[in-house]
Structure 1
Amino acid sequence: MTTSPLRAHVQPRTTARPIPQQRRTQAQRRAESERRLLDAAAELIVERGIEGTSLAEIGRVAGYSHGLVHQRFGSKEALVERLNTEAVRMFTTATLAAVGTTRGLAALRIVADTYLDLVQAEDPLGRVHLVVWTEAVARASERRSYRVTWDRYFRSAFAQLILDAAADGTVRSDVDVDAMSMVVVGLLRGVALQLMLDPAGATAETRAAVLDHLTRMLAAD
């Protein structure tokens, strides 16, 4: 039997040796376990609240024992505080990227818009602060310290944006910066809480109404 010239040039198949996976370092394994635990905690707290979430359940959802949760964070309060820190980092990173080089009232609108994006996003971390805030008002005082810290940070960020916008003439020069930053935060948080309760309200019209109201409150004549 004559061998086809084409077949004669086909090299015999060889079985490729599996490439061994590089072993992760202890630091990498620790970072992964912390991330999975934080993700599970955010998901459960947004769904059930802080009081309705146990460390054992967080460990189970993340695929670890509750002992590892204690080892990584020590207590539920410490875990919630860490979630709060992660939420601040996420908000800061997202808003800085969204604002870019934009300044004035336009930057303020972008920050407000980005905040609403985060609280409506798939990642529950963007909504954890709302649950923590409501429980801090109604429950134990130990949660109020880092809740107050977050609120002051949030208001100070808006206060600086308002000051910058007043300096470039896009916001009224007579605006009371401290009072207005509290009003702006109250507006955004109130809308965000309503959207958590009734996601059907998350329409383009709602978003436009929030931003338009913000503009009317602040815009220079």
Structure 2
Amino acid sequence: MPAEKRMTHQERSDLSDKLMLAAAVELILEKGTEKTTLKDVGEKAGYSRGLAGYRFGSKAGLFTFVLHALSEYWLRDLQEATRGKTGFDAISAATLKYAEMFERNSDNIKAFYILWFDAISVHDEVKQVIVNIHQRRQKDLTQWILDDASLSHCHDNASKFSAQYNASLNGIAYQALLMPEDVSGLRTLHEDLIQSMKVTLQLTA
């Protein structure tokens, strides 16, 4: 019988990250951020009690890892959805992708926004991560507007429109946490946001 191939250090590290992320998401949904402990994350992931503490150092480190990991997954999806698009087309594609994320990865996105709305007031390190994600999202949307020559009348106010969009998107996320069973309602809110942005950008159907 051939010897079983041993995983490389990188493969073991990637597997550990995947299991730790899944465990953290499950515990955040089950217990909330305050009662989620590094010990519980390590055990649920199938490792020793101390491994999560060694890996992340603190709860802020754990929450930072979760936010980074989930946002990078979604960033790749958004980049694929908006590739080659600018202006309203990019905004529409991104918004529909956000709606799809709520429908397809509900646990992950719920855990992400629980951290977004909860841990921001407790951990300065986590708050900075959230600020960075927020600013990156707003920067992308501003650039989509600036890259579209047909929206030249909006260029001077591109950052203002982006801030308005971001605020609306965060409001939809908050509604999703309050009423998680209303999946069709969340889709409608995303579609309404698209129409609102169309009006804001002074586009016609």
Q: Same fold (TM over 0.5)?
A: yes
- 1:176-215 to structure 2, matched below 5 A, reads 176-203=157-184, 204-215=187-198
Please identify which structure carries the higher helix content. Answer: 2
Structure 2 counterpart of 1:60: 43
Is 1:48–2:50 an aligned residue pair? Answer: no
* Pair 123,33 (structure 1): closer, same or farther in 2 beyond 3 Å: farther
8 Å CA contact retained: 2:78, 2:97: yes
Q: Partner of 2:95 in structure 1?
A: 112
Measured at CA, do residues 79 and 218 of structure 1 come closer, stay the same or move farther in structure 2, by a change above 3 Å? same
Larger radius of gyration: 1
**Offset of residue 105 of structure 1:** 0.8
Among 77, 80, 83, the alignment partner of 1:100 is: 83
Aligned-partner Cα distance in 1 for 2:102–2:181: 14
Q: How many angstroms apart in 1 are the aligned matches of 2:123 and 2:30? A: 20
Decide whether aligned partners of structure 1 residues 171 and 120 sit closer, same or farther in structure 2, where only a CA change above 3 A counts.
Answer: farther
1:54-74 per-position Cα deviation (integer Å, ceiling 9, x unaligned) = 111111221112211122222
8 Å CA contact retained: 2:60, 2:123: no
Q: CA deviation at 1:172?
A: 4.2
1:103–1:164 CA contact under 8 A, matched in 2 = yes
Which residue type is aligned with residue 139 of structure 1? V
The worse-fitting range, judged by mean Cα deviation, of 21-30 and 55-64 is 21-30
- Divergent runs of 4+, >6 A: none
Contact 1:171 / 1:219 at 8 angstroms: preserved in 2?
no
CA distance in 2 between counterparts of 1:77 and 1:84 reads 10
Give CA deviations for 1:32-76 in whole Å, capped at 9, x if unaligned. 112211221122223432212111111122111221112222221
Q: Give the Cα separation in 2 of the matches to 1:171 and 1:50.
A: 44
- Relative to the length of structure 2, the TM-score reads 0.86
Q: TM-score, normalised by structure 1?
A: 0.80
Contact 1:40 1:62 in 2 (8 A): yes
Aligned-residue CA RMSD (Å) = 2.3
In 2, Cα distance between equivalents of 1:125 and 1:54: 18
Which residue of 45, 59, 62 maps to 1:76?
A: 59
Pair 207,90 (structure 1): closer, same or farther in 2 beyond 3 Å: same
Structure 1: gaps (5+ residues)? 1-17
Tell me the amino acid that sits aligned with residue 60 of structure 2: E
1:8 paired residue number:
none
**Contact 1:172-1:220 within 8 A present in 2 as well:** no
Gaps of 5+ in 2: none
Question: Aligned residues: percent identity?
Answer: 24
